[in-house]
Amino acid sequence: MSGQLSRLQAFLAGAGNLEVVAPPADVRPDYFARFARLAGATLVAAQVAAVAAPASAQAAPPPAPPTVLTAEEVMAAEKTRIAAAMRSVQDLSARYLSAGRSPTSSRIVMIDPEKLPDEGPLAFLEPDEMCRIEGIRTDYSRTNPRLATMADTPGMRAFVLIHESMHCRLGPALMNHVAQSTAPMAYEFAVRFNESSADAYAVLTLARKDGIPAALEVLDRVTKVREAEMALPESEGHHDSRDTLQRVRAVLERTPERLDSDDAAFSLAITEALAGASTALKRAQPKEYRAYLQSADYAADMQRFHGTVEEMARGYLEGAHGLGAPKVILNNLVMAPAAPARMSPWGLLAKLRPAEHGFTAATLRKDVEEITRSLRRDVAASAPSKRAIADNDDPTPVHASLSGSPQRHAVSIGRLRSRLDGVYSGVLHSTGASELTDPTADHEDLERPGL
């Protein structure tokens, strides 16, 4: 650079007064340093822009070839999915249904979430001490809105399964009671008691297994469901368990110490449902039920009912079957019952010891008899005079409306969904013992008795 300036200065030496003066070296511009700074900044900016560029601007990798599954792989994946769903129901059964015994063994027939959206859970009796629970799902969200609301949380799904299992516990004794009864009002009471006790037992069992707050949350949801059902024009009132649920709430909030064992949950379900169902029936037919409670028919029917609840207690304490390890069926696959856990000698000794709260068939009958007497006393205190009853044109219209043969009543107690659905005349064959089998006709529906 200095040589170029010297030549330019010599070239212009004769240019008159014009003079070119070169600046001193210490203040001359460093053009190389300027270029390096500018170039470095440009390179850094380019790198930042490349990193911030969206992934789509970069060269996309070639698409992976589609995965083609063989028919055997598809069937294996489907079988794995079904087995997982069935095992989840087995786990629920082991957690919530293992307390106590039962006069019947259980078979749970599940439905895929996408299938039969209007099919609700129900329980009915089969020959050979078998109780079949149908319509159980792992996901109820794709069912009809009422059923989806009924079981849209884990607690509510457990509630549904426990509710139906209670029908399996009480079904044989209750149906025998109705079949032997000659009082038409007995059928109306038995159906209400059947549903109320199932609701009560489900909530009380959840309180034992999951805690009182979880049980109260489920109780609130069930109460709303029952209120919505009662508002329907076609409601027959059989699921009106609101009075029973209020009594169960009082137990959980005021006297939770009463729920000191699994046996207590069963006992409380019976006694609270007896009082609650009686109150609901009295509200539904005030005049007729008041007269019925003072009749000889009621006294005779309740005497039979006291024996019925004693039979229920014996089934719970000494029944031949357990409900905690059921056979589960889904999509023509059967999962055999889980093997029961081997009991240690200490467990056997504990089983032989009587329950601390003294629950027996006799104590349950005594409690029920006291409730029956108190109901009659309450009605007698508010009953109209005999003259007023005599002036009634038709003091017992409900008796006439429910008249019919005892056998018809025994079948009718299970006609509606979520009830005992009658006793089949056919015999179902037992399935294989492997964990997952593929039966052809072991669990197909038989024709149900016409009504």
Q: What is the DSSP string of 169-238?
A: HHHHHHHHHHHH---HHHHHHHHHHHHHHHHHHHHHHHHHHH-HHHHHHHHHHHHHHHHHHHTSTT--ST
Q: What is the pLDDT of residue 440?
A: 37
Q: How confident is the model at residue 147 (pLDDT cuts 50, 70, 90)?
A: confident
The more confidently predicted of residues 284 and 198 is 198
Q: What is the pLDDT of residue 92?
A: 94
Q: Could you tell me if 282 and 289 are in contact, meaning their C-beta atoms sit under 8 angstroms apart?
A: yes
* Mean pLDDT for the stretch of residues 422-448: 35
Locate the domains of the chain by residue range: 84-341+354-437
The more confidently predicted of residues 8 and 427 is 8
DSSP-derived pairing of the beta strands 105-110 and 130-136? parallel
pTM above 0.85, yes or no: no
Q: What is the pLDDT of residue 429?
A: 29
Q: Could you tell me if 1 and 28 are in contact, meaning their C-beta atoms sit under 8 angstroms apart?
A: yes
27-53: burial string, b at 16+ Cβ within 10 Å, e else = eeeeeeeeeeeeeeeeeeeeeeeeeee
Which residues contact residue 247 at a Cβ distance below 8 angstroms, ignoring those fewer than 6 apart?
A: 200, 272, 275, 276
Chain position carrying tokens 């037919």: 285
Q: What is the pLDDT of residue 62?
A: 79
Q: How confident is the model at residue 433 (pLDDT cuts 50, 70, 90)?
A: very low
**Rg from Cα positions in the chain:** 38
Please write the tens of the pLDDT for every residue from 244-296.
999 999 999 999 999 999 999 999 999 999 999 988 888 877 676 777 777 88
Q: Retrieve residue 318's tokens.
A: 């000494």
Element (H, E) at 423: strand 420-423
Q: How confident is the model at residue 46 (pLDDT cuts 50, 70, 90)?
A: low
Task: Report how far Cα 155 is from the mean position of its chain's Cα atoms.
Answer: 6
* Mean pLDDT for the stretch of residues 189-198: 91
* Mean pLDDT for the stretch of residues 353-376: 82
Cβ atoms within 10 Å, residue 238: 21
Task: Report how far Cα 323 is from the mean position of its chain's Cα atoms.
Answer: 16
Residue 44 above 60 pLDDT? no
Q: What is the pLDDT of residue 5?
A: 64
Element (H, E) at 330: strand 327-330
SS3 content of the chain, % helix, strand, coil (to 5): 60, 5, 35
Q: What is the pLDDT of residue 384?
A: 53
Which residues contact residue 388 at a Cβ distance below 8 angstroms, ignoring those fewer than 6 apart?
A: none
Cross-strand bridge partners of residue 437? 334
Residue 125: name the closest of 83, 185, 87, 179 by CA.
Answer: 179
